[in-house]
A and B are shown apart, each in its own frame.
Chain A
Amino acid sequence: MLEVDGLTVCYGPIEALREISFGVTQGTVVSLVGPNGAGKTTALNAISGLLPATQGRIIFQGRDITRMSSHQRVAAGIVQVPEGRLVLAGMSVHENLELGGYCRPRKEIATGIAQMESRFPILAERRHMLAGTLSGGEQQMLAIARGLMARPKLLLLDEPSLGLAPLMVQLIFEIISELQSGGQTILLVEQNARQAMAVSSHAYVMESGRIVLHGEARQLMADPVLIDSYLGGPSERSKDKQ
């Protein structure tokens, strides 16, 4: 569904991504994992069009979208849930959801919101509250629901577990698996590599702007040497966190 081929992205003279290539198959969850500054978010931003690609091609459903603007990509079906959630803090939960359906016809928005509110009942409870007053986990749910309002073919999730309480982290990953079983294609960027891989079919490990490892998530997970040398943190610690 998505093919990234030799993608290079530069911030001024600095190469943040160096000729990375990877793909996402329809109906699967694929994760990009790796340490801070590896270029995961840069890769996601280049796919959603927030950042221009310096080199390389991005193919989505057979179309070359490398030069498309970000709003055209949303219309084409690529929707990003940005890092740090970025809910529209001064607007109500309901308005956030409405705006999520910005590129959809108006009459579909109400049914879309009803679907989201039944899937995330907390959002129905908080309907009229300002998004900025929600807790971190609720904001993340709102951000995901807002992304889903656009009926994405490919959902890009950027660090959905960042800064959340452990219980919330678990809930967010449950939501991701549920979405996957519902047929949603997801490209997931996470620092929480172990949990990301647990919900993914494929994973790409990034470091300093390159992909250094990739394969089936299950196989990568079974290889503790690789995990420890590239992602740090022995397995006990991440177990403790849960």
Chain B
Amino acid sequence: MEHLVQFYAIYGSLINFIGLNALLALSLNVTLAAGMLSLGNAAFAALGAYTAGILTVHYHLPFIPAIAAGAILPGLAAVVLGLPVLRLKGVFLAMATLAFGEVVRIAAVNLEITGGAEGLTGIPNVTNVWMIYLALALAAYFVAVLRRSQLGWGLLSIREDETAAACLGIPIFRYKLLAFVIGAMLAGLAGALYAHLNYLITPRDYGFFIAVDLLIYNIVGGTRAWYGPVMGAALLTALPEILRGIGVAAGPIRMGVNGLILLLVILFLPNGLASLINRPRAVTATPEASGQRA
């Protein structure tokens, strides 16, 4: 017990951030499941963080309703943003969501209620490690169930081929919007928890680099199952600490090491770290395929 307490005292904030980043990575995973490349999830997290923070700081709302609002408002924003933007595909969608991220950041810098460039301060520190991991567990369970549902299969076939999916009778636009909204709500939840962990939320907390990080978590971890983004987020969040442990100063070379890991994963594990655990497709497909070749 003593060891555990000591361990948490040293690595507590790392453990919290692994949980929050995993939750954010999962939020993007839902969007990616339909093949939508969104760079807006960091902005949805910012929206959730500010919403929840403003509600507790300025309106003295209790924690739980504030957190709920922090998930719901980004969801509504995703509907408004998604209606026009989800007609775009690939990089164009990425550009549009990126622009949304900038809008959120600039709004946060210039509005009074968000505290401007210095950020929103004095947020009560209510978030606990168990809350983060409870939220993560629920989100992971939700994503796992979602993937096996009618909606999940629909999203998967939209990712494979939108025209084919339309021919199967899948309501493409509705499903894409739904996935986008679910992703935004999960991101908002993570942001709201973060705000109540960190006392403070600033416009820089969920900028462009975070948006890209979320994508990297998914690519490194693998997008095909819920544990992929969780593994990716855990590895890359813990990486600076691991590097420090083995005597490498993390700061400046962190991006370089991230890039190297990304490169290695893309080259050798195209389906991400998750494929180390479970390779159902490769296993079932190989015997017959190799039999054919022989």
* B160 with A89: CB separation less than 8 A: yes
Q: Which residue of A lies closest to B175 (CB)?
A: A71
Does any Cβ of B come within 8 Å of A203's Cβ?
no
Interface string of A115-150 (1 = CB under 8 A from B): 000000000001011100100000000000011001
A88 in contact with B160 given A128-B288, A130-B285, A133-B285 (CB within 8 Å): yes
CB neighbours (8 Å) of A126 from chain B are: 288
- Contact between A88 and B164 (Cβ–Cβ < 8 Å)? yes
Asked if A86 and B164 make an inter-chain contact with CB atoms under 8 angstroms apart, the answer reads yes
Residue pairs across A and B with Cβ atoms less than 8 A apart, 29 shown, are: A49-B166, A70-B166, A70-B167, A70-B169, A71-B166, A71-B169, A71-B171, A79-B167, A79-B169, A81-B167, A82-B164, A82-B167, A86-B163, A86-B167, A89-B161, A91-B156, A100-B168, A102-B150, A102-B154, A102-B168, A102-B169, A102-B170, A103-B168, A126-B288, A129-B285, A129-B288, A130-B285, A133-B285, A147-B167
Interface residues of A in 79-112 (CB under 8 A from B): 79-82, 86-92, 98-100, 102-103
**In the bound complex, CA of A41 to CA of B152 (Å):** 30
User: Is A50 located at the chain interface by the 8 A CB criterion?
Assistant: yes
Chain B residue at minimum C-beta to C-beta distance from A48: B167
Q: Which chain B residue shows the least CB distance to A90?
A: B160
A73 to chain B, nearest CB (A): 8
Query: In the assembled complex, which residues on chain A have CB atoms less than 8 Å from the CB atom of B167?
Result: 48, 50, 70, 74, 79-82, 86, 147
Residue A238 lies at the interface, judged by CB distance under 8 Å to chain B: no
Given contacts A50-B163, A74-B169, is CB(A99)–CB(B289) below 8 Å? no
In whole Å, how far is B156's beta carbon from the nearest beta carbon of chain A?
7
A50 to B166 Cα, complex, angstroms: 7
> Which residue of chain A has the shortest Cβ distance to B171 in the bound complex?
A71
Using A129-B285, A130-B285, A133-B289 as known contacts, say yes or no to A146 and B168 having CB atoms under 8 A apart. yes
Chain A proximity of B10: nearest CB distance (Å): 43
Q: How many residues of B contact A (CB 8 A)?
A: 21
Asked if A99 and B285 sit within 8 Å, CB to CB, the answer is: no
Of the residues B161, B281, B285, B289, contact of A86 by C-beta under 8 Å: B161
**A69 adjacent to chain B (CB < 8 Å):** yes
Is residue A75 contacting chain B, with contact meaning CB distance below 8 A?
yes
The reply to whether the CB of B114 lies closer than 8 angstroms to some CB of chain A is: no
A-B CB contacts (within 8 Å), total count: 75
Closest to B167 in A: A80
* Cβ–Cβ < 8 Å partners of B164 in chain A: 82, 86-88
Tell which of A69, A75, A82, A128 touches B163, judged by Cβ atoms closer than 8 Å.
Answer: A82
Whether B153 lies near A102 (C-beta < 8 A) is yes
Which 3 A-B pairs have CB atoms at the shortest separation, nearest pair first?
A: A74-B169, A86-B164, A88-B160
CA distance A133 to B164 in the complex (A): 17
- Residues on B with C-beta less than 8 A from A69 are 171
How far is A87 from B168 in the complex, measured between Cα atoms in Å?
11
The answer to the question of B157 belonging to the interface, with a C-beta cut-off of 8 Å to chain A, is: yes
CB distance from B294 to the nearest CB of A (A): 15
Which residues of B have CB within 8 Å of A82?
A: 163-164, 167
- Is the CB–CB distance between B161 and A92 below 8 Å? no
Taking the complex as formed, is B278 at the interface, i.e. its CB lies under 8 A from any CB of chain A? no
Docked pose: A86 CA to B157 CA in angstroms: 11
Within 8 A of B (CB), among A59-84: 69-71, 74-75, 79-82
What residues of A have a CB within 8 angstroms of the CB of B154 in the complex?
A: 102
Contacts of A92 in B (CB 8 A): 281, 284-285
B residues less than 8 Å from A146 (CB atoms): 168
Known contacts A50-B163, A50-B166, A74-B168, then 4 further A-B pairs from the complex at CB < 8 Å, ordered by chain A residue: A87-B164, A99-B153, A130-B281, A133-B289
Give chain B interface residues in 130-162, CB to chain A under 8 Å. Answer: 150, 153-154, 156-157, 160-161
| Residues of B contacting A70 in the complex (Cβ-Cβ under 8 angstroms) | 166-167, 169, 172
How far apart sit A86 and B153, CA to CA, in the bound complex (Å)?
16
Give Cα A103 to B156, complex, Å: 15
- CA A129 to CA B286, docked complex, whole Å: 8
| Minimal beta-carbon separation of A65 from chain B (angstroms) | 14
Residue of B153, B156, B167, B171 ringed by the most chain A CB atoms within 10 A:
B167
Query: Which of A99, A129, A147 has the most chain B CB within a 10 Å cutoff?
Result: A99
